Amino acid sequence: MTDQPNSPQLYLITPVGAAASTLGPMLAEVMDRFPVACLRIPGAGTEDELGRIADLAREIAHARDVAVVIEDHVQLAQRHGLDGVHLTNGARGVRHARKELGQDAIVGTFCGASRHDGMNAAEAGADYVSFGPCGATALGHGEIAPLELFQWWSEVIEIPVIAEGALTPALIGQLAPVADFIALGAEIWSEPDPAEALGILWR
């Protein structure tokens, strides 16, 4: 899939609640084996824990020329030298994050399955929009971002779009022609060998 024209790039999400001591080797192995375009740190955890993970992720990712964003925490992104933020509440906060972080920072946002939220985020100056979940899951509102949403976006909107959430090899195959990035995280970290699991998903 990744060798085809217009193939999406891999957008990697670090595991939620991982200790920095165990995250480092796993993350380094995955990023050495697969070309990652961007690394995202979930925003759950204490300030100290997130700070340690931010420093570790930045060191590993920047050594491989990969940008790092953190969910929602604009000040942590500034303090720890990250490349930007991934907002989890649609268009809200995009302008504020841009003002705080500057024009060169990455400001992306999650818009669920809402075309309207995605368009508002694009108009507010987001660098990318993500939609999901793409597969069935009991998490969140349970509303799935359909393939048609990505097809429409890729035809009409220039800002890159990310597909994320409950992805399978079949879903990735369907989304590959219409998504700029495929975000993977929980799909691999819950497996005994994350790198092997990613190899199955990311062919």
20: left (phi over 0), alpha (psi -120 to 50) or beta: alpha
Its pTM stands at: 0.96
Distance between CA atoms of residues 18 and 105, nearest Å: 26
Tell me which CATH code domain 9-201 carries. 3.20.20.70
Q: What is the pLDDT of residues 13-46, one digit of tens each?
A: 999 988 888 899 999 999 999 999 999 999 999 9
Interval 178-192 mean pLDDT: 96
Residue type for 86, please?
A: H
- What are the tens digits of pLDDT across the range 91-137? 999 999 999 999 999 999 999 999 999 999 999 999 999 999 999 98
Torsion 46-131-159-14 (CA) sign: positive
CA angle 19, 23, 28 (to 5 degrees): 165
Q: Which two tokens stand for residue 174?
A: 């369907």
Q: What is the domain partition of the chain in residue ranges? A: 9-201
Spatial separation of the C-alpha atoms in residues 189 and 71, rounded to whole Å: 18
Closest CA relative to residue 50, chosen from 77, 28, 31, 30? 77
- Using 50, 70 and 90 to split pLDDT, how confident is the model at 3? very low
